[in-house]
Every structure is written in structure tokens, then in C-alpha cells.
Amino acid sequence: MIDTTYLNNQFLIAMPGLADPHFFHTVTYLCQHNQEGALGIVINRPTGMKLADIFEQMGIKTDLQKVLNTPVFAGGPVQQERGFVIHSPCEQHWDSSISTADNITLTSSRDVLEAIAQGKGPKHFLIALGYAGWGEGQLEKEMSENAWLNTPCGEAIIYETPINQRWNAAASQLGIDINRLTTAAGHG
């Protein structure tokens, strides 16, 4: 039986009144949530870097222009020097992967980047530096203070929705226009 009190494989949607500059108008994919806390990756905050910059720093070579132009996201304020790849499952297994859902895997090892550079990586992927982390009970407290809305993850939002539309698109899964919410709206 699945414990539904945890928000694994959900989006956290920042409420309009959440002023923290790390999370203002963000959508965070919750990779892990349990009694010890939560870990998520922000999916709509590009850093201005491209995957070409990461490959150059790591000495990974590719001539795949589409891959080189892939945006790199600010995954959150924790360990911003550490890279994470949210991706669709594939036959190959990477050194450091956790399956967060049947259709989404989180990997933090170099081998997935090397495979992407060779055109042999996962079909869909999002590259992020850093992550968002919450300690025991911290996310639950923020939820009760109406800082976040949550909704089941929508893969298309991660991989296909234009970056500047992800916040609205995630909220629209709940049937709401998030721009019309007041800061007092949300969970009761």
C-alpha cells in the first residue's frame, strides 16, 4: 500500500505570495519525500548556462547541436555545484540513479551526461545544478502556511512545456489560474 501522506512524484507549485527569491513562481519536482524530509528539483528556473558549458567544464565532447543548446536549470539552493538529471527511463542503467516514478528517474552521475553527449542517453531529460531540500516536517509546515500547492507530476510539463509556461501549466492541472489566487488562498 502506498503512503499517500508523502508527496513523491508531485509538483510543488509556489504560491504567488511566496517571496523567497529561490522559489518565486517556481515548479519543483519532488523526487523524494518521507519522514526525514524532502528533496526536489526546480524545473522552471534556467541558469542562463547551456549543456555545452557543463560539457566544456567536464571535458565531455559532442557535436550534437541540439544537446549543446539544452538549457541548464537552477535546481535549488542546496549544493549548486552538483548536477542532477531528471530523465525518462531507458535500457541503460547509470551509476547513481533512483527511480522516482515508473516513468521518471533521477541520476547524478557523469555517465548519463556522457551517454547524452553520444546521442545514446535517455530520450527526455532535464539538467539541473543544485536541489531544493527540506528537513523533517519543514515542507509540511510550509504547506500548512500556504506557501505551496501540490499536484501530481505531469511529464509533459517537465520535458515539453515551454519554460516560461510551466508554473501556469502545473497549476492548471488543478483547474485553477494561479495568477488569480490571493496570498491567503491554498490549503486550509
Domains of the chain, first to last = 10-180 (3.40.1740.10)
In whole angstroms, give the CA distance from residue 130 to residue 82.
Answer: 5
Give me the DSSP letters along 11-35: EEEE-TT---TTTTT-EEEEEEEET
Buried b (16+ CB within 10 A) or exposed e, 146-157: bbbbbbebbeeb
pLDDT tens for each residue of 85-130: 999 987 777 778 778 888 899 998 899 999 999 999 999 999 999 9
pLDDT tens for each residue of 38-96: 999 999 999 999 999 999 999 999 988 889 999 999 999 999 999 999 999 877 777 78
Contact 109, 58 (CB under 8 A): no
CA distances from 188 to 39, 58, 73, 143, 144 (A): 24, 47, 32, 9, 7
pLDDT at 3 over 50: no
